Amino acid sequence: MFSGKINTEKIIKEKNIAAQGLSKKTIKNINMKKLIIIAIAALLVTAAIVSPGMKKTQVSEVNKHINLEVYKMASYGSPAYENTTATLEVTIVRIRGNQRDTAFQYKFQPKQLKDFPDSNQPMVQKIIIPNVNDKKEKLEVYYKLSYDANGSVLNFLNTSVIGKGEQSGKLNIQI
């Protein structure tokens, strides 16, 4: 029933068009042009709606701030520590997927243990790692603390992570 109605309407339209003197080929061209115009308009509207959303998904690069605080936990005034020094090496690695790049590396000069500051007045180093893609990258902070007592060396290794969404980190290094 429904398909019969459509055929009847189609026949009536074709008769009206024939009465106007237009060929079927001309009608198809007009219909095709209308279809193309509608498709282009739909694409433009879609692009206008999606475009502001795409700007929000652009890379969000931030500066990550890391504060290193180095201090001694004891007075080290005993003669046993007189010739003992400590050396600190800090490395910050930028990680994106499986790719690892060194973003910062610093080696502090060796110091006698008694010469390091107390915890109430630590030695502070502020580090800024610029242009970190906060959605895809994280930072790993490695430090190696080496004690040297008359040629006998003892190494301590430690790692801290500044992950996605964290704008800053603080690393307390106790000597």
Give the containing element (helix H, strand E) for 6: helix 2-20
pLDDT score for 111: 94
Angle at 30 between CA 27 and CA 31, to 5 degrees: 85
Angle at 11 between CA 8 and CA 17, to 5 degrees: 145
pLDDT for residue 89 is more than 90: yes
| Sheet architecture: strand order including 123-133 | 123-133, 61-71, 168-174
Query: pLDDT, tens digit, for every residue of 113-143?
Result: 999 999 999 999 999 999 999 888 999 999 9
pLDDT for residue 102 is more than 50: yes
Arithmetic mean of pLDDT over the chain: 84
User: How confident is the model over 21-33, as a mean pLDDT?
Assistant: 69
User: How confident is the model over 155-161, as a mean pLDDT?
Assistant: 93
pLDDT score for 127: 94
pLDDT score for 1: 47
**DSSP-assigned beta bridge partners for residue 159:** 142
pLDDT score for 20: 62
pLDDT grade for 35, boundaries at 50, 70 and 90 = confident
pLDDT-wise least confident of 47-56, 131-140, 157-166: 47-56
Measured CA to CA in angstroms, residue 37 lies from 30, 40, 48, 55, 75 at distances of: 11, 5, 17, 27, 83
